[in-house]
Amino acid sequence: MRFVGICQYDGSSYSGFQSQKNASSIQDHLELAISSIGLLEERINYAGRTDAGVHATQQIFDFSSESHREKSQWLKGLNSLLPNDISVSSIQKAPEDFHSRFDAINRSYAYVIYTGKTQPIFLRDYVYWEKNEIDIEIMRAEASTLVGQHNFSSFRGSKCTAKNPVRTLHSIDINQKDDFIIISLCANAYLYNMVRIIVGTLLDISKGSKKNMKTILNAKDRKIAGKTAQAQGLFFTGAQYKKINLSLQKDVANPLSFLIGSGK
C-alpha cells in the first residue's frame, strides 16, 4: 500500500533532504521513523531535493508498506519518533503508481529577505539579511522577464547535472511586509541552485548593478548572473499534482507565518 505525506522541517542542522554518506539528512530520519512503525519496502520518494540549510513548509514524500496501519497510526507514530525539527503534518493513501517527484506538475519555493538595520539574531537561520537599500520595484520589473519557458543556463550552479536547461517559470511574486521581502516562485522544475542564483541576481540589480535580467537570460552563461544567495532564506513550499488531491495550506506555505505569525 502506498502512502503520501506532507512534512515540514528546519534544515539548519542537516546536509539536505536527500540521504548522503556520513551526513545527517531529512530522508534518513523519515525512513528510520517509518521503518520503526512498519515495513518500509523501498526508499521514500520526495517532490524536491533541498540542500543543506534549506527549509520546507510543505515537502511531499511517499512510501510503500504492506504493514497494516491506519493513517492516524502512521501520523502519530512518525511524529513521536522524529526529531523536533522535523514534523509530518498529514498522511493519506495514494495510487500504487504515485511518485512524488515524477508526478509533480509544479513546485514552489519562497525566499525571505530581511531589510532591518540590525542583524536579526534569532532569525539568522531563516532569512537573508540585506544591509543595503534595495529597490523592490526594480526587482519586480526584472523578475517578470523570467516568467515563461526559457533556457535558464545562466541560473544553474556548477554542480548541475541536468541535461536540459529549459524550465518553465509559471510565476515569480515579490511582496513586502514590514522589514521582510518574500520572493515566491512556482515552476515545473528547477536547475541546481536556480532559485538562489535568481535571488542573488535580483538583489545585485536592485542595488544598482547595470546588468538586466533579459541580457543575463539570453547570455546562457552563469558568469554573467549574480552571486548565489545563501541557503538559509530558502523554503520549499509545496508541489501540485493531477493524480492526487493534497490539502496544502496557503498560510503554511508562507514562511512569514512562521517568522512573524502572519500568513499575509
Active-site residue list: 51
User: CA-CA-CA-CA torsion for 109, 16, 192, 41, nearest 10 degrees?
Assistant: -90
Rounded to the nearest angstrom, the gap between the alpha carbon of residue 194 and the centroid of all alpha carbons in its chain is 11
Distance, CA of 230 to CA of 193 (rounded, Å): 10
Cβ atoms of 228 and 49 within 8 Å: the answer is: no
Query: What is the DSSP pairing of strand 180-187 with strand 86-94?
Result: unpaired
Q: Which amino acid is present at 158?
A: S
Of the candidates 113, 189, 183, 185, the residue with the CA atom closest to the CA atom of residue 152:
189
Distance, CA of 13 to CA of 11 (rounded, Å): 6
Of the candidates 211, 205, 209, the residue with the CA atom closest to the CA atom of residue 174:
205
Provide φ and ψ at 60, rounded to 5°.
-105, 135
- Helix extents (H) in 105-148: 136-143
Distance, CA of 178 to CA of 183 (rounded, Å): 14
Question: What angle, rounded to 10 degrees, do the helices at 26-37 and 71-81 form?
Answer: 130
